[in-house]
A and B are shown apart, each in its own frame.
Chain A
């Protein structure tokens, strides 16, 4: 795996955790599966930087792809029912979008 892309992925995930926490605080506890998946992705990506094991690398990529997908039902509902408030989700959404692209990049160069 390309160390540079992984490092960028890690920073995006870390940023996503912070922005996700801000939106999570604002809207009540309602993104649990997504947040759990994001934390696992962070741990696995961090581990893949130090552990030279293919399984850890593939798991990290899998979670980097799964995590943005877990937000889809929630974000669809928000866009439908609370669109005037969607600005507060935009930072987190942007990082989720970047994470998918970086995950695919990780997969290609693996």
Chain B
């Protein structure tokens, strides 16, 4: 069960929270606060109770006890687009507000969290089970309403389909990401088709044009600046690329992640 309440304006929100927690056995409390001072006060109380919590801006999400899922599904071992299809199929049969527990492998983690968010559902919790699988709790939400308002483009989605087979495009992919950062546009790189070859360990280090630094160095520089680099799961599989020979920091993602980025109104795709 998810309960939302506001503590705005209260000098010691922990007093109220203490009372609420005393009769809460399980669920999630979403507390909307004024800011830092109130959050600190709440944090002190939560540390005393030893409760798990997350701070997101001015809201604090508190996990009390074990959340009971209405349905569970295990998609471990399924590859893209299997997991999202299995999950959306089961979600379509559930009521709004019900909680679904998903067990999945690392390959499907980003796809599911990003994809489900894009579909209007709420990701309550993501837990690493330690054995290579993850537990996701998702609350079924309503379909997002379409807004016809003008949206400012603040993200760039760079898609590379040629990989190291075209050095110029490979360089352009990472250079563009760097320029986007400087222009305050958040870049994300998606490598698909032959572009997935850039995700092979050591492959980028083989490319070096006299006028530019080694491609591998450029990739590491971009990663240091926090740019996410995804490798398409199907393309990776076609080329024998998996977690073992994937370049450090690259992440395998599938069609839901790709389509989710393309469907965001504030994102502009760049095809290379």
Contacts and interface: CB of A to CB of B under 8 A. Distances in A.
A82 B209 contact: no
Contacts of A81: 163-164, 194, 196-197, 200, 203, 239-241
A52 interface: no
B206 interface: yes
Contact of A30 (B206, B210, B240): B206
Contacts of A26: 165-168
B104 interface: no
A84 B200 CA distance: 16
Contacts of B206: 28, 30
B240 A88 contact: no
A18 B203 CA distance: 25
Contacts of A29: 207-210
B170 interface: yes
A78 B240 CA distance: 12
B193 interface: yes
Contacts, number: 56
Contacts of B194: 81-85
Nearest to B215: A28
Contacts of A80: 239-240
A28 to B, nearest CB: 3
Contacts of A53: none
Nearest to B208: A29
Range class of the B interface residue count: 20 to 34
Interface string B196-239: 11001001001111100001000000000000000000000001
Contact of A28 (B167, B193, B197, B241): B167
Range class of the A interface residue count: 10 to 19
Nearest to A86: B165
Interface string B177-196: 00000000000000001101
A85 B162 contact: yes
B101 to A, nearest CB: 37
Interface string A67-91: 0000000000010111111001000
Contacts of A84: 165, 193-194
A85 B166 contact: yes
Contacts of B163: 81-82, 85
Interface string A22-51: 000011111000000000000000000000
Contact of A85 (B165, B203, B240, B241): B165
A85 B166 CA distance: 8
B73 to A, nearest CB: 34
A82 B207 contact: no
A9 to B, nearest CB: 29
15 contacts: A26-B165, A28-B164, A28-B170, A29-B209, A29-B210, A80-B239, A81-B163, A81-B197, A81-B200, A82-B162, A82-B163, A83-B239, A84-B194, A85-B166, A88-B165
Interface of A: 26-30, 78, 80-85, 88
